[in-house]
Amino acid sequence: MMNKDRLKFGVHLFLKNKGAVLGLTIMLIWIIIAIFTDFIAPYDPYERVGKARLAPSSEFIMGTDVIGRDVFTRVLYGSRTSLVLGLISVSFGSFFGIILGLISGYNSGTWIDTAIMRFMDALLAFPGMLLALIIIASLGPSIQNVMIAVGISTVPQFSRLTRASVLSIKEMTYVEASRVIGATDFRIIYKHIFPNIVSSLIVLATLQVGNAILVGAGLSFLGMGSQPPSPEWGLATAQGREALKKAWWISTFPGIAVLTVVMSSNLIGDGLRTALDPRMKYE
C-alpha cells in the first residue's frame, strides 16, 4: 500500500508537472462554475434575452443564439450536464468494470474468468462510439441513456486493468500468507488487492472522464443525447450549425468549452500517471 512519504512524493511530482497543474486549475474553475452557475450567470439560460444571433458585445459577451438566448449563460449552465455526465458514466463503468475484473482475476483460469473476458473482448470489438450508438438506438435518445451507454462502453477498460493487476498481485507472498492465516476472499481483495490497484484505476478513471464527456457531447450533437431546450454543449453546437455562416459564435463557444474540459481531464490523467508511477523513485 502507498505510504505517506510516497504520497507526498507523488503530490510533489504532480505539482512539478506544469501541464498537470494547468489541467487541474481549468478543471477546478469548471467545477466551481458548475456549482455556482446560478450566481455567476448573467441571464436565464432558457429565456430569450435579446434579438436572435446578436454578435458578441459588452452586453452579451458570447453573443446570443438562434432564438436570442445568451450564449455565455448557456455555456456556463452546460458545464453541469457535461461534468455530471463524465462523473456518472465513469462511476458506473468503473463500478461494474472493477467488480467484473476482480471476479475474473481472482478466479483466473476458470470458466467464469473466460466468460467475463470473452464478453469484454466482444465489447471492445465495437469501434469508437458504436457501442454507445446501439445502446441509444435501443433505449431511445436522452442524456440519461447516454450516461448508461457511455458507462457501459468504459466497463471493459476497467475490468481488464483490474484483472491484470489482480493476477500480478495475488501470487505475492503476503497475499498467500494472508490466505494461510485464514483470511476470507473478500478480506484479501479488500485489504490487499484493492489498495494496490487503486492508483492505476484513478489514472484510468481520470482519462475516461474526458473521453466520456467527448463521446457524450458527440452523441448530443447527433441528437441522441440532451434534448432542447437543454444548454448541453454538444446540442448547443448542433443548434448553431445552421447559422454558422452568419453567427459563428453560437457553435464556437460551446465547442471550446468541451475542448477545455476534456483537455484538462487528459492533462490531469497524464500528470497522475507520472506521479503515481511506482517506478518513479524518491530516495
Partner 1 sequence: MRNYILKRLGQMIPVLILVSIIIFFVMRLLPGDPISLMLAGAEGGAISAERRAELAESMGLNDPLIVQYFDWITSALRGDLGESIRMRESVSKLIGEFFASTFELSLVGLFFSLSIGLSTGIIAALKKDSWFDFLSMGLAYVGISMPIFWLGLVLILAFSFEVKWFPSAGGEGLRSLVLPGLTLGLSSAGLISRLTRSSLIEILNEDYIRTARSKGLKEQAVVMGHAMKNAMIPVVTMVGLQFGGMMAGAVVTETVFSRPGLGKVLVNGVLWMDYPLVQGIILFLAVVYMSTNLLVDISYCFIDPRIRYS
Residues forming the site for partner 1 (CB under 8 A): 19, 118-119, 121-123, 125-130, 133-141, 210, 214, 217-218, 221-224, 234, 237-238, 240-241, 244-245, 248, 251-252, 254-256, 258-259, 262-263, 266-267
Minimum distance of partner 1 from residue 130's CB (angstroms): 5
Q: Which helix (H) or strand (E) holds 110?
A: none
Minimum distance of partner 1 from residue 256's CB (angstroms): 8
Minimum distance of partner 1 from residue 30's CB (angstroms): 13
Nearer to partner 1, 159 or 237 (CB): 237
Let me know: does 1 contact 37? Beta carbons within 8 Å.
Answer: no
Q: Which helix (H) or strand (E) holds 6?
A: helix 4-16
**Listed residue (204, 192, 2, 207) closest to 98, CA to CA:** 204
The SS3 call for residue 209 is: helix
Q: Report residue 111 as a C-alpha cell.
A: 470458466
Minimum distance of partner 1 from residue 241's CB (angstroms): 6
Nearer to partner 1, 202 or 243 (CB): 243
Q: Report residue 45 as a C-alpha cell.
A: 439560460
Nearer to partner 1, 169 or 207 (CB): 207
Cα–Cα distance, 48 to 71 (Å, whole number): 11
Q: How many CA atoms lie within 13 A of 227 on its CB side?
A: 5
Nearer to partner 1, 79 or 196 (CB): 79
Nearer to partner 1, 33 or 146 (CB): 146
Minimum distance of partner 1 from residue 125's CB (angstroms): 5
Query: What is the per-residue DSSP string for 12-63?
Result: HHHHH-HHHHHHHHHHHHHHHHHHHHHHH-SS-TTS--SSTTPPP-SSSTT-
Nearer to partner 1, 187 or 241 (CB): 241
Minimum distance of partner 1 from residue 86's CB (angstroms): 13
